Chains A and B, each alone.
Chain A
Amino acid sequence: MRILVVEDDTDVAGFVVKGLREAGHVVEHAANGRDGLFLAASEKFDAIVLDRMLPGGIDGLRLLETLRAQDNQTPVLFLSAMAQVDDRVRGLKAGGDDYLTKPFAFAELLARVENLARRGKGDGPATKLVTADLEMDLLSRGVRRAGQKIDLQPREFRLLEYLMRHSGQVVTRTMLLEGVWDYHFDPQTNVIDVHVSRLRQKIDKPFPLPLIHTVRNAGYMLREEQP
């Protein structure tokens, strides 16, 4: 995927660019708002990682607003040290698709960027999700694995739905927290792990091949077979 990184801090930018390239993406880098806007407006990207405080007269918010005013809908992930609730709200209001505060774990950034870049390419509203022999009917809210019916609590259902919609992608704990529970705070205990392990009991335990995998230092991934 083609990803644009607009970030003025050389260390952070170098780290992000290197990591994204290692993950197999084509990355362009701009060190100020002006260059960033020029690149974003003139070339096609699958996602943009955008710092908020940028030199060059155009900060991240202005850049994004200009871009959206030109009807450019490239998904944008804000990467900012401005971490207050209001900052976050302002960033999303300006047209940002996601907001990650510094300091951050690269795995979190990667998972979120890939999630954003893939989001635009969905094939419309599905009524059925399938991963390997796991099937989820979104209309009847039924789940089957290998033809066997599995009973899930509403919250377990939503957790599995989120994992299936992001099947083959790394999903971090914060992504689950925000996506499934709509919580924007950090629960100090590893509540997410407990919920995932409960889901595993129902989805994976009775079957020979596990589908929910733990990705070390990152989160979870639902995928067909182990690499």
Chain B
Amino acid sequence: MDWGSRASGLNLRSAGVRFGVAYAALFGVSALALASFLWWSTAGLMERQVDDAINADSLGLSERYRETGTAGLLETINQRLIGNVDRDAIYLLVDPAMRRLTGNLQRWPAGIGMDQEWIERPLERDGRRSLARVHQFELAGGYHLMIGRDVQARAEMRHLLTDALLWAAAIAVALGSVGAWAVRGLFGMTLAEVSAIAGAIGAGDLTRRVRVTGRGDEFDRLAEIINDMLDRIAQLMDGVRQVSNAIAHDLRTPIARARARLEDAANHASGEADLRAALERAQADLDGITALFQGLLRIAEIEAGARRSAFAAFDAAPMLLDLADFYGAVAEEREVVLKPDIPEIVPVFGDRDMVQQAVANLLDNAIKFAPSGTTVLLSATPEDGWVRIVVADQGPGIPLADRPRATERFFRGESARSTPGSGLGLALVQAVATLHGGVLRLEDAGPGLIATLTLPHGPREVA
């Protein structure tokens, strides 16, 4: 976690150092490639040009000799020397006894044997020594012709170029090192913040978030992913906290009630029948507590999102009609009309069982609060990417002030206190909506409540 101390040594296990070294290596290889190309296209080119010129001369003069013999060749060479066509050109023609016939060299240079064709060495010409590259070959009749070029200037040029390239190499090494160091530093700096925040969060401060620079680069994306992850963790932690709060407070009440009844019976029951009745009450109380537990755990299970793998495309229409039929009987008994308005196909993408339970909870609520003689409407509308499932009643509704808290676990509005219920129904619907990336909206129907559950639309063609 401590970037400061780790950055000081050249620790190859540090990703920053590795990136730096990789950068330097890449930089070095590129510089080397560039220098090689430069060399090849300057010094190399000059060398090839000299050889080409000598070759052309050799060919031309050989031809001349074949056509016109020694006299013609002599004349051509002399013409070229006098005409001073190329100041750097070197010619020397000798007879079989190695006596000079013509040329701008005084004699056949010592140390050049007849077996060497190409030679590069200093030669004396017009009274001064300079580097020359010569080509010598034997003509028919035992004559020897030497053709060459003074390459002193080229050698100097090459020398200069070598110097320059060496300097360039030194600069490249220096720049590469600085670059590598900068890359490592940048890398360390970018990660230092993330790692510092991760450390703080690891230590328990879940409110910290990685700074998003707004440049929209890879680091920003990483920061966004990490922040999303942190939001999710915070949300889950919140859920866990809510559940433990619920266990601490909301479950205490029914447990206390059950315990009081049992103790009362143990102390005051006047006969077996009384005791039996008390035991049965206690059983029912325990069953109620179990149901609360189950409800809480179910919501926690949904919120954990573990079952998102069970998501699939399905047609919710038969399921909704089924639910309407199922709760319709209860509605009828309470003299409430449950009216389904479901299109032929309602394609939904999600977990069938969860959606079923969510809609069941909404219907259960609506029927519970609907006054007799009124209508509860269940409708579904698939539209651009979403499916809206609406349950509307004409009951007392939820006061505006209570609405934001209506989906909290165990929250029960004033008007709901007198009706039986756990206070978990809407919390579950909310959890299902959130898991599906959808929304649960509670609105006033004046009078009544309109609960809208928005779920992702499934593919159009669903069996």
Measured CB to CB, the residues of A under 8 A from B are: 83-86, 103, 105, 153, 155, 181, 183-189, 191, 194-195, 198, 217
Contacts and interface: CB of A to CB of B under 8 A. Distances in A.
Interface string B340-357: 000000000000010011
Which label, helix, strand, loop or mixed, suits the secondary structure of the A interface?
A: loop
A84 B325 CA distance: 27
Contact of B368 (A86, A189, A194): A189
Given A181-B322, A181-B326, A189-B368, A84 B297 contact: yes
A86 B330 CA distance: 31
A176 to B, nearest CB: 11
Contact of A191 (B286, B327, B357): B327
A105 to B, nearest CB: 8
Interface of B: 280, 286-287, 290-291, 294, 297, 301, 306-307, 322, 325-327, 329-330, 333, 353, 356-357, 360, 364, 367-368, 420-422, 425
Contact of B306 (A86, A103, A185, A191): A86
Given A183-B356, A195-B329, A188 B422 contact: yes
A184 B325 contact: no
A108 B120 CA distance: 109
User: Which of B286, B326, B357 gathers most chain A CB within 10 Å?
Assistant: B326
Contacts of A183: 326, 356, 360
Contacts of B360: 183, 185, 187
Given A85-B353, A181-B322, A186 B291 contact: yes
Which label, helix, strand, loop or mixed, suits the secondary structure of the B interface?
A: helix
Contacts of A194: 329-330, 333
B294 A186 contact: yes
A188 B364 contact: yes
A48 B421 CA distance: 36
A184 B351 CA distance: 13
A194 B325 CA distance: 12
A218 to B, nearest CB: 13
Closest 8 CB pairs of A and B: A185-B357, A194-B329, A194-B330, A195-B329, A191-B330, A103-B290, A194-B333, A84-B301
A183 B327 CA distance: 13
User: Which of B286, B322, B425 gathers most chain A CB within 10 Å?
Assistant: B322
Contacts of B357: 185
A85 B307 contact: yes
B297 A83 contact: yes
B129 to A, nearest CB: 95
A191 B297 contact: no
Given A83-B297, A85-B353, A86-B306, A188 B421 contact: yes
B432 to A, nearest CB: 11
A92 B306 CA distance: 19
Contacts of B307: 85-86
Given A83-B297, A185-B356, A198 B329 contact: yes
User: Which of A103, A186, A189 gathers most chain B CB within 10 Å?
Assistant: A189
Contacts of B326: 155, 181, 183, 187, 191, 195
B331 to A, nearest CB: 9
A209 B143 CA distance: 144
Contacts of B422: 188
Nearest to A198: B329
Nearest to A89: B310
B298 to A, nearest CB: 8
A191 B329 contact: yes
A94 B294 CA distance: 24
A53 B93 CA distance: 110
A153 to B, nearest CB: 8
B273 to A, nearest CB: 15
A85 B294 contact: no
Contacts of B301: 84-85
A103 B286 contact: yes
Nearest to B425: A188
A24 B327 CA distance: 38
Contacts of B306: 86
A103 B425 CA distance: 22
Contacts of B330: 189, 191, 194
A83 B294 contact: yes
Nearest to B310: A85
Contacts of B294: 83, 186
A185 B362 CA distance: 14
A187 B329 contact: no
A103 B357 CA distance: 22
A105 B290 CA distance: 12
A159 to B, nearest CB: 11
Given A85-B353, A181-B326, A188 B333 contact: no
